[in-house]
A and B are shown apart, each in its own frame.
Chain A
Amino acid sequence: EIVLTQSPGTLSLSPGERATLSCRASQSVSRGYLAWYQQEPGQAPRLLIYGASSRATGIPDRFSGSGSGTDFTLTISRLEPEDFAVYYCQQYGSSPGTFGQGTKVEIK
C-alpha cells in the first residue's frame, strides 16, 4: 500500500500568514488522485481538495492544492482563525486508499 508522509508535523503560524503543507507518497499516486481534509478538534474531517487541485464545494479560494506523482502541497494563502486545525492528505489512486498522519496548524 502507498504510505503518505506529511510534513511538518506541526506548523506554528500567525493569522494572515501563508501556510504550506507537504504530502509525500512512497510511490506515484495514480492520476493525481489525492485529497486534502481539515479536521477541527472533536469534529469530523471536511473535504477541502480532491484530484490534487480541485476545491470541494463551498471551500474558500484561499485553499489551493498542487502537485503530482509523489509530491503534493496544500497552501493556505492567508490563515484565518478558523483554519487552525489538523490537515490530512489521502491518496485514492491505489487500493487501499491511505491517509497521511496529519499536520497540525497551530497559532503561534
Chain B
Amino acid sequence: QVQLQESGPGLVKPSETLSLTCAVSGYSISSGYFWGWIRQPPGKGLEWIGSIYHGGRTHYNPSLKSRVTMSVDTSKDQFSLRLTSVTAADSAVYYCATDPTGLDYFDSWGQGTLVTVSS
C-alpha cells in the first residue's frame, strides 16, 4: 500500500515561492506510476494543480502552468511542487496523490498540508 506524506513551510510570504515535497513509502518511484498535486482552499472545493509521470514528463493545469514546476527524485522516493509568485489566493491545503493510470484521477492521497500566504 502506497503511503504519501507532504512536507514544507506552512507560511509563505506574498510574491515568494511555495515549495512542497511528497515522500512516498511502500513503493519505489522508479518502478513507475504517476503522481499528482491537488489543492483545496479552506472551505472550498478541489483544484488539480498538475501531474508528473515516472519518466519525468509533466502535465500542468493551464491556469497555473506559468508558475508551476514539478519534479521527481527517485533516489529519495519523493516528488516536489514549486509554485512561484504566490498570492493570498494560493492559500490552501495541498495534497499529493497517486494516479494509477496516468489519466489524472487519484486513488491514494496524502493527509494534506496547509499553506498560508501572508506577510
Contact = CB atoms under 8 A, between A and B. Distances in A.
Q: A and B: partners?
A: yes
Interface of A: 1, 33, 35, 37, 43-47, 50, 56-57, 88, 90, 92, 95-102
Interface string B26-51: 00000000000000000001111000
Given A35-B105, A57-B107, 17 more contacts: A33-B103, A33-B105, A44-B95, A44-B112, A45-B95, A47-B106, A50-B105, A50-B107, A88-B45, A90-B48, A92-B103, A92-B105, A95-B59, A95-B104, A96-B48, A97-B48, A99-B47
Contacts, number: 50
Please classify how large the interface on chain B is, using the bins under 10, 10 to 19, 20 to 34, 35 or more. 10 to 19
23 contacts: A35-B105, A44-B112, A45-B46, A45-B95, A45-B109, A46-B109, A47-B106, A47-B107, A50-B105, A56-B107, A88-B45, A90-B48, A92-B103, A95-B62, A95-B104, A96-B61, A97-B105, A99-B45, A99-B47, A99-B48, A100-B45, A101-B45, A102-B45
Contacts of B10: none
Contacts of B109: 44-46
Contacts of A92: 103-105
B85 to A, nearest CB: 20
B98 to A, nearest CB: 10
Contacts of B105: 33, 35, 47, 50, 90, 92, 97
B110 interface: yes
A38 to B, nearest CB: 11
Interface string B86-115: 000000000100000001111111111000
A19 B80 CA distance: 38
Contacts of B107: 47, 50, 56-57
B63 interface: yes
Contacts of B106: 45, 47
Given A35-B105, A44-B111, A50-B105, A98 B95 contact: no
Interface string B62-78: 11000000000000000
